[in-house]
């Protein structure tokens, strides 16, 4: 059976915390998740050519297929910090591991925030002494973890899904520098299902491709993107297909929430490219449209300027689409808001403009050239996005 969405659930065997260690002002800036036993684990990381020090160390620690603890700091990405940055990521792992009785190699470090600033690792090391008394297996601990990993997010992002006798709970952050090939996007999943690390690696890779790699806020791929899953096995095995569908449901929910909470965003956009000649063409065209500042600003202003969609489709040079086969649909098919290249009338444009005022819009680009489809998520582009990023480091 597929996954069943639930209210936010804790996962047996896991505990969490979030606290302030002085990287931010008084807001939480250090989060730890811990399991009482070693877990099968897998991860997917950024493809940016300048990955952060925690990404480099995290890849190394995940090579064994086992983790027990995740340590995340926000406000400082520990990126472009050279060998000192790598040494500091390792120091975090040692300090967390020593406090919780875990080998440093079973701790995954993760950082998000400003690039090029040395990590104040001493503050983190000092705070680690508090970890045994701060970790909590209840929902308050999980929620504290979700808040402590936030940067420009306006709210925490978390979801739970049941699959068989097991629970999958996911927590994510991300609002800007988002266009994952794996975005400043972090996602951590915890489950008590029994799944091998090899199976987790394959499943997570496929799920990330269908969820986080289909979301864009601003077309920028972060140096810190990380998606990791820990499976304790306490609930026993579940059917592999059911587990993958449940994890995908959780990941898509979080991907949508990241797009919905994009920096300055007022609208969630779901864009579907249909009847494409190939999967590659469907995804390339979808990404071209969802990344277009002109499309995003038109949707923000509820401007039914369908020529911007035509532009964004047409600039995918390797996949030309005949203009006379293109149709654009806004909303559900039953709403009848369709535009074809042959023309449109003022009444339809006025109704599309009204539809685009909603805080969640669905747009379908029907290419009429095949049977392939791609679905992506994004958000509108606003003046607030400029404001947030113009003042990011101050």
Catalytic site positions? 184
Distance (Å) of CA 202 to CA 52, 198, 205, 340: 24, 7, 5, 41
Dist. CA 18–CA 136, nearest whole Å? 10
Dist. CA 193–CA 196, nearest whole Å? 10
Question: Is residue 24 within 8 Å of residue 215, measured between CB atoms?
Answer: no
Q: What is the largest CA-CA distance in the chain?
A: 69
Dist. CA 77–CA 223, nearest whole Å? 8
Centre a 10 Å sphere on the Cβ of residue 384 and count the other Cβ atoms it contains: 13
């Amino acid at each position: 059976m597929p996954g069943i969405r639930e209210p936010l659930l804790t996962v047996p065997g896991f505990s969490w915390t979030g606290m302030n260690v002085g990287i931010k002002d008084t807001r939480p800036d250090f989060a730890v998740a811990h399991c009482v036993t070693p877990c099968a684990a897998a991860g997917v990381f950024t493809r940016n050519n300048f990955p952060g020090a925690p990404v480099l160390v995290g890849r190394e620690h995940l090579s064994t297929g086992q983790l027990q603890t995740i340590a995340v700091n926000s406000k400082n990405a520990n990126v472009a910090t050279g060998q000192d940055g790598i040494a500091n990521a390792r120091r975090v792992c040692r300090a967390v591991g020593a406090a919780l009785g875990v080998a440093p190699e079973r701790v995954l470090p993760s950082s998000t925030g400003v690039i090029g600033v040395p990590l104040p690792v001493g503050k983190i090391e000092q705070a680690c002494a508090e970890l045994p008394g701060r970790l909590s297996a209840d929902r308050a601990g999980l929620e504290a973890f979700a808040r402590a990993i936030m940067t420009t997010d306006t709210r925490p992002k978390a979801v739970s899904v049941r699959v068989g006798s097991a629970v999958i709970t996911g927590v994510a952050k991300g609002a800007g520098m988002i266009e994952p090939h794996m975005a400043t996007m972090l996602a951590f999943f915890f489950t008590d299902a029994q799944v091998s690390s090899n199976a987790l690696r394959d499943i997570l890779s496929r799920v990330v491709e269908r969820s986080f790699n289909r979301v864009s806020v601003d077309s920028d791929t972060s140096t810190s993107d990380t998606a990791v899953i820990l499976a304790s096995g306490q609930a026993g095995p579940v059917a592999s297909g059911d587990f993958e569908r449940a994890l995908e449901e959780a990941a898509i929910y979080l991907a949508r929430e990241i797009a919905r909470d994009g920096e300055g965003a007022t609208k969630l956009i779901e864009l579907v490219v249909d009847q494409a000649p190939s999967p590659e063409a469907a995804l390339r065209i979808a990404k071209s449209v969802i990344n277009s500042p002109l499309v995003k600003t038109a949707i923000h202003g509820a401007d039914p300027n369908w020529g911007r969609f035509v532009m964004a489709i047409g600039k995918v040079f390797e996949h030309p689409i005949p203009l006379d086969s293109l149709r654009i649909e806004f909303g559900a098919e039953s709403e009848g808001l369709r535009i074809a290249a042959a023309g449109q009338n003022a009444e339809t444009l006025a109704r599309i403009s009204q539809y685009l005022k909603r805080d969640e819009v669905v747009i379908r680009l029907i290419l009429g050239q095949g049977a392939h489809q791609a679905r992506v998520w994004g958000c509108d582009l606003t003046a607030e996005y400029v404001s947030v990023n113009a003042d990011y480091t101050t």
